[in-house]
Chains A and B, each alone.
Chain A
């Protein structure tokens, strides 16, 4: 549904869709519900060949993007993943790669960026804390100074694919101020506690840190100076999440429109009743707006335009609220079949609900915009 794509972008989108349809149809995704890892390593590696995790990585380290705006390209892939309910840590890995590519020391970059782009290593961002807003200002996990660097004691939660990740990008409050550290997930003192998730295609965990020792060279950027980087990571995550949600919503609405054309009752296709078709028309309208705000935010955040922070919140607030409402109504428009486990619609609905609240729900985004305006 993106418009004005270049040939290269069209190719990326088409190839991504084909690979997902061939290797990871929804029937395969369903098989992974009970799998503790939750995604398929072979498909993950195949995605690396298509550049899914290298868009934010410089070319000389094995990455590159097709349009010059890595976030726009990553959104094309995220949207296709949403359409296919694709599980796995692509979003999280891309956020970590972007953070590292922007602020990591040459040593960190050389050691990890190529491996992230090639899919050999998986990264995730440990940011959220229980019952705290999703903002840099709300950080409370302390990084205490030691002779060799820092020590972490405390916890993070809603960490995507923490169980599968090789690298954790941890945001914490050092004495100098907000700071970020890139540490191996298997560092001594780290325990990953998987959570039960509403979205059956997403693994989330609480991560506990007990006296985890962090060497000074694991600091990403300058200690105390990470507030802007954290804000940027949030923007990237929000936009990628929107693209995924939009893909899932578009697919759910397609299923519903097709059903309404084929399902005959009271002597005619149910989609001919205005009482039903007007609702689908409204969903189509809001969906168009979701595509528009997500594309706008991708261009603004990817291009680091002055309205990037606002654009990401506009997209999230709109996409989250409308997608959940649309998919709820898609179930309602289906009637009985829509409520069943076997019919895929609830999987899309689950993803939309989960994405609505992760990284902050619409009300939180609305309030954040007023905070931004007051700070300006």
Chain B
């Protein structure tokens, strides 16, 4: 790899030495993240900045920490990766590559052919390719296996037709992984295949979707006779559900952990629990910091943040050691959701009318935390609850026929007419 040796480049470097080297390297090379700066900035400026940052990490030997060396990575451990995350807290990291590193990379490594891995992984690490995932459809979100996009044999390759949605960064991505139905005559989970699709392939149309909070992080895609070669199959034909499960597990884990490539306050091994002053400062500003009800709310939010950070570390470690199965990721995603909802309520209660209106350009828009405190992306909280109940607690499924009947004999997923895109 092209590491220039400036940051932690030796082969089997101990975690503490690696951490120290990273700590020294970061302030000179990475910008600090600005207060109130959004994690994702899907515009030309944000994306080109993130590309440059990823390129810089790569050149400094800080890309693909746990990726095997033959695919361009460092071949180090999860502990090294976590040390980098913790030290990077407060710095601007190339978050546009989040789907790539959090979701696609581990899936490629687990299921990809040797050719796909050697071709695609180093490009991602170098900052060449941003990735997105074409999974959900307008009528298939929680019931992902009920999706309608078709992939039909076309000579040596495949021809894809359908519509995908909730694609983070679809309009700035070079590649996608795409789940499509290759056999409608078998039960729905058994007839799916995962493909690697270049986003500039003829027939791919991308349109941004604006969310209720005004952000435009998501896109919708139409696939019209998109042709991909045979070697674009990720995993095996008709075995796409297994590949998708790997992706969703990694996605849940990353969302539960906070998604960012940098750790949050409180996750840092050596700094302990941090009581961030933001809400207390607000209470002082509004003259309510001596109100005992407000003090209880501020304390509660600190507790929730610490609980979230500590539980995330525990569950990630338990999954790494095998003490918890991969479905344990649902625990931290569900927890993150419940914590966020309550934190949104607390922000609202402490901020009062400041949550409803503010001078133009204010960094803190308190009401937005309540507005966006729902966890739907990456699988709804209800789906996490199913995974926890059925996979961790061993409770039986709801009786249903859709797992046994061939897909083409099922009632197809639909959405109410006025919601159709």
A interface residues (Cβ-Cβ under 8 A, vs B): 3-4, 257, 260-261, 268-269, 271-274, 277-278, 280-282, 284-286, 288-289, 291-293, 295-296, 300, 305-307, 310-311, 313-314, 317-318, 362-363, 365-370, 372-374, 376
Does B153 reach chain A (CB closer than 8 Å)? no
The answer to whether A366 touches B307, judged by C-beta atoms less than 8 angstroms apart, is: no
The answer to whether A281 touches B384, judged by C-beta atoms less than 8 angstroms apart, is: yes
Interface stretch of the complex, out of B107-115, B234-242, B295-303 = B295-303
Most B C-beta atoms less than 10 A away, residue of A282, A307, A310, A370: A370
Binary CB contact string for chain B from 124 to 160 against chain A (1 if under 8 A, 0 otherwise): 0000000000000000000000000000000000000
B104 to chain A, nearest CB (A): 27
Does B233 reach chain A (CB closer than 8 Å)? no
Q: Which residues of the other chain, B, contact A281 by a CB distance below 8 angstroms?
A: 334, 384-386, 388-389, 392-393
Q: Main SS of the interface on chain A? A: helix
Given B295, B314, B317, B323, which contacts A367 in the complex, CB threshold below 8 Å? B295
The answer to whether A272 touches B396, judged by C-beta atoms less than 8 angstroms apart, is: yes
The answer to whether A277 touches B296, judged by C-beta atoms less than 8 angstroms apart, is: no
B interface residues (Cβ-Cβ under 8 A, vs A): 272-273, 275, 277, 280, 292, 295-300, 302-303, 306-308, 310-311, 313-315, 317-318, 321, 323, 331, 334-335, 338, 382, 384-386, 388-390, 392-399
Question: With A278-B389, A366-B296, A367-B292 given, can you name 5 additional A-B contacts, CB distance below 8 Å?
Answer: A277-B390, A281-B385, A291-B314, A366-B300, A373-B280
The answer to whether B272 touches A305, judged by C-beta atoms less than 8 angstroms apart, is: yes
Q: How far is the CA of A230 from the CA of B227 in the complex (A)?
A: 72
The answer to whether A314 touches B307, judged by C-beta atoms less than 8 angstroms apart, is: yes
Q: How far is the CA of A369 from the CA of B296 in the complex (A)?
A: 9
The answer to whether B398 touches A274, judged by C-beta atoms less than 8 angstroms apart, is: yes
Can you list 21 pairs linking A and B with CB atoms under 8 Å apart?
A260-B395, A271-B395, A272-B397, A272-B398, A278-B386, A278-B389, A281-B386, A292-B307, A292-B314, A307-B272, A310-B273, A311-B306, A313-B303, A314-B303, A314-B310, A366-B299, A366-B300, A366-B302, A367-B296, A374-B280, A376-B275
A310-B306 contact in complex given A257-B395, A272-B396, C-beta closer than 8 Å = yes
Q: Which residues of the other chain, A, contact B388 by a CB distance below 8 angstroms?
A: 281, 284-285
B140 to chain A, nearest CB (A): 19
Q: Which residues of the other chain, A, contact B313 by a CB distance below 8 angstroms?
A: 292
Most A C-beta atoms less than 10 A away, residue of B306, B313, B338, B392: B306
**Residue ID in chain A nearest B308 by CB atoms:** A289
The answer to whether B275 touches A310, judged by C-beta atoms less than 8 angstroms apart, is: yes
The answer to whether B280 touches A370, judged by C-beta atoms less than 8 angstroms apart, is: yes
The answer to whether B292 touches A285, judged by C-beta atoms less than 8 angstroms apart, is: no
Q: Which residues of the other chain, B, contact A3 by a CB distance below 8 angstroms?
A: 314, 317-318, 321, 323
A-B pairs, top 4 by smallest CB distance, nearest first, are A366-B299, A307-B272, A277-B389, A281-B388
